[in-house]
A = this chain, B = another copy of it.
């Protein structure tokens, strides 16, 4: 997992709020560059630069038909990045399960010890 150049580029691409907004828009369906530019209040060349970063990361691909460039999300690349977080969460949760098991065992040993020290009187 140390050398995962795609994740480097994906997280780098998503560290910018305008690029995240473009990905949010494209998650709802394909869009032209003008569609993407509109809510961002940004020039087309600026949007094209952000698009280039997103395309290099693999998060987005685009196709030009005539004068219109249509952009699409790459859900597999989003899934890879989401999977990275899911693995960290799984590690974290396993650690808590182990801690819980350890504490339960400790408690049981304490109970056994104290019942050995103070045996119940027979009635």
Residues of A at the B interface (CB closer than 8 Å) are 1-4, 7-9, 11-12, 14-18, 20-21, 23-24, 27-29, 73, 75, 78-79, 81-82, 84-89, 91-92, 94-95
Contacts and interface: CB of A to CB of B under 8 A. Distances in A.
B24 A1 contact: yes
Nearest to A14: B11
Given A8-B17, A27-B89, 14 more contacts: A1-B21, A2-B17, A4-B17, A8-B15, A12-B15, A27-B87, A28-B95, A73-B88, A78-B85, A78-B89, A79-B89, A81-B85, A82-B82, A85-B85
Contacts of A28: 91-92, 94-95
